[in-house]
Structure 1
Amino acid sequence: MTREARCPFDPPPALYAQHRQGAMTRVRLWDGSTPWLITGYAEQRAVLADPRVSVDLSRPGFPSTVPLPPGGVKRSFIGMDDPEHARLRRMVTAPFAIKRIEAMRPSVQKIVDELIDDLLAGPNPVDLMEAFALPVPSLVICELLGVPYADHDFFQDTSKTIINSTATPEQRQAGHQALHAYLDDLVGEKLAHPGDDLLSGLAERVTAGELDRQEAARMGALMLLAGHETTANMIALGTLALLEHPDQLALLRDTHDPKLVASTVEELLRYLNIVHNGRLRVATEDLEVAGQTVRAGEGLIMVNEMGNRDPEVFEDPDRLDLRRDARRHVAFGFGVHQCLGQPLARMELQVVYGTLYRRVPTLKLATELGRVPFKFNGLVYGVHELPVTW
């Protein structure tokens, strides 16, 4: 569904129209299938927590939003149901524990400060996406995983192909294969020369026989892709939203209150939507949602942006309000499959939003909003570039 160019932060008008028909309606996909579209907040959480729905895209009726490559795709643990999902997820839970992530805050602050130093010393105007928004999470996830940042051009370009909804199935498959091969080589290096990083931890699991090398590579590829692409777009899109709401930006720029910074992160996660294709599931048994009977084998799509704009949960939901308590949002999903990396994303965004606008208080767009190239064609929403000046 097409977003309104004049309101690029809001869900597509057709989604609002769909929601007015009810929290649970049918929608047609590219292949002619008609899965259920769930727009209500309560209904989304109920389905995401229901063990009678599956994330396994190989099941008949699973609602794929893009054509799959010939032979399908190799699944990472986020595309598996319990108990296999839980078994693999547990292997990478510890590095994302809140205490460990908080221990990384000083090093993330150093990365952010150094990139802002470079920004201020460099050309003006500049593309904030290239100079700041993309390097921050790329450097952080490389440090966490044990991936050489020198290879960032490769994995960033490959990731863009994988998440481009207009790419052919063959192009996306080639991207997945290239990224998997790269991580497989890295796992091989960690097997021979382990370090103090997440990939080395996976390599130890391979040595212990708990994982095979292909599983370890797929897990590494997933975390590398998800660890930089979503946060980079959130940094840039959040900055643009704040620049377009100067009263809210002033609140953030003038505060030293970490609670307001944290509140800003939660509200921007609610107000914006980075995961552009919803949460996809298929029913494994009959169930009832919003008074409708969902039959086994029927697809379900939970659109985050509508759940996060549900007026039953968030008062005046189309308004950006940094003082709002938005912690109940579903930007990271809900249930057993909610985003593993959310503590890391939150911490990075707190450091960025709490630093950038204080250090560059005159930051502003270097073009008109209508000329900013948005990623309308991506499975991850954001901007291709963000020209700014100060």
Structure 2
Amino acid sequence: MERAAACPFDPPPALHDLQDQAPLTRVRLWDGSTPWLVTRHAEQRTLLADQRLSAAIDSPGYPLPGPARPRDERRGSIGFILMDDPEHARLRRMVTAPFAIKRVEALRPAIQKIVDDLIDEMLAGPRPVDLVEAFALPVPSLVICALLGVPYTDHDLFQGHSRNLISRSVPIEERSASFTALHDYLDDLIGSKLDHPDDGLLSQLAERVRGGELKRSDAAGIGVLLLVAGHETTANMIALGTLALLEHPDQLALLRDSDDPKLVASAVEELLRYLNITHTGRRRAALEDIDIAGVTIRAGEGVIMANDIGNRDPSMFDAPDDLDLTRDARRHVAFGFGVHQCLGQPLARLELQVVYSTLYRRIPTLRRATELDAIPFKHDGAVYGVYELPVSW
């Protein structure tokens, strides 16, 4: 469904219409299948917590967003994200500890230094500058590389393949080749960690491989998931969130002029609710019949939770199409809900808090350096954002 050209931050108007009509509606996908689309907040949270829905991509009726890459048993899938319990839980537990809130909070000084150093470089360089290339992409890339133990000097390699993986306009053969290249890259890194361990998460996975708890191919798949998700999502939130604030100067001023960490935290939650960069929905397949909101989802039918419109549900959020940084938006579903909710959300929140509390304070006259309609939005990607954002001050 297409967004309205004049409202690039809003979900497609057709989603608003469907939400007004009913909580669940049949829709048709690219392959002719007709899964259920869930557009209201309450039903989304209920179904995301329902173990009768499968997240496994090979479940009958799973609503694929496009042609799937050819299965390669040697390389498996992207981590545990498309698995069900108990295997999902077993693999996820192996990487949970570094993303615990206290562990993540200890990273705040290091992330603050990364943000300040990149702003220093921007201020010392030419204007205008592309905020995506100079700031939004390097911040989370540097952070996730340090956490995993991935050399940041390889960022061109993994960022290029990541872009291919999440783009719907890239041919399936090219996406498959990018997954293979990324998987092989992480597999080689895990091999080197077996001989030369460090403090990174990849070394911890390598130890589990050594101990027989984990196949090396599965460890590499987890590495792909964490590396791609760890920088693409936050990078797009930084850039798109900045653009949204520039288009709402009253809200930008509220954030820029405050040193209240509670307001900063609230702003992060509201921007996550308002923007919803993961805009292709949480996808599931029913393992059993499920009765909900007056309809029956039959076993073998697909279900898509459209989190972007769920976070604009007026029964949950007053004036949901307004950006209000003082709103309590904590019940948003930007990170999903239930056992599959985003593992890295504490890290994403921390990075966004540091960015949003620093960038506009240090560059108070930050502004767009081009017209809004000249900015290329990522309508063709699984992660929404902007390809570039020229700014000046």
1:177 match: 180
Give how far 1:166 is off. Answer: 1.2
Distance 1:70 1:103 in 2: 41
1:115 match: 118
2:54 match: 54
Q: Which amino acid aligns with 1:184?
A: D
2:83 match: 80
Q: How does 1:26-45 map to 2 (within 5 A)?
A: 26-45=26-45
2:287 match: 284
From 192, 210, 215, the counterpart of 1:212: 215
Give how far 1:69 is off. Answer: 2.0
Consecutive unaligned residues in structure 1, runs of 5 or more: none
Aligned length: 390
Q: Which amino acid aligns with 1:25?
A: T
Return the TM-score normalized by structure 1: 0.99
Distance 1:19 1:169 in 2: 32
| In the alignment, structure 1 residue 157 sits paired with structure 2 residue 149 | no
Q: Which amino acid aligns with 1:30?
A: W
From 329, 332, 338, the counterpart of 2:332: 329
Query: CA-to-partner distance for each residue in 1:142-192, whole Å, 9 max, x for gaps?
Result: 000000000000100100100011111111111110100000000001001
Query: CA-to-partner distance for each residue in 1:80-116, whole Å, 9 max, x for gaps?
Result: 1000000000000000000000000000000000000
Return the TM-score normalized by structure 2: 0.98
Distance 1:298 1:151 in 2: 41
Q: Which amino acid aligns with 2:233?
A: T
Distance 1:84 1:322 in 2: 39
Q: Which amino acid aligns with 1:147?
A: V
Distance 1:289 1:154 in 2: 45
Query: CA-to-partner distance for each residue in 1:201-223, whole Å, 9 max, x for gaps?
Result: 00011111110110100000100
SS in 2 for 1:33: coil
After superposing the two structures, state which structure 1 stretch, 17-26 or 47-56, moved more. Answer: 17-26
Q: Which amino acid aligns with 1:171?
A: E
Distance 2:165 2:52 in 1: 29
Distance 1:195 1:69 in 2: 33
The 1:30–1:119 alpha-carbon spacing in structure 2 relative to 1, beyond 3 Å, is same
| In the alignment, structure 1 residue 16 sits paired with structure 2 residue 32 | no
Give how far 1:72 is off. Answer: 7.2
1:63 match: 63
1:99 match: 102
| In the alignment, structure 1 residue 196 sits paired with structure 2 residue 199 | yes
1:3 match: 3
Q: Which amino acid aligns with 2:7?
A: C
After superposing the two structures, state which structure 1 stretch, 17-26 or 352-361, moved more. Answer: 17-26
Consecutive unaligned residues in structure 2, runs of 5 or more: none
Distance 1:169 1:286 in 2: 33
Give how far 1:291 is off. Answer: 1.0
% identity of equivalent residues: 70
Give how far 1:274 is off. Answer: 0.8
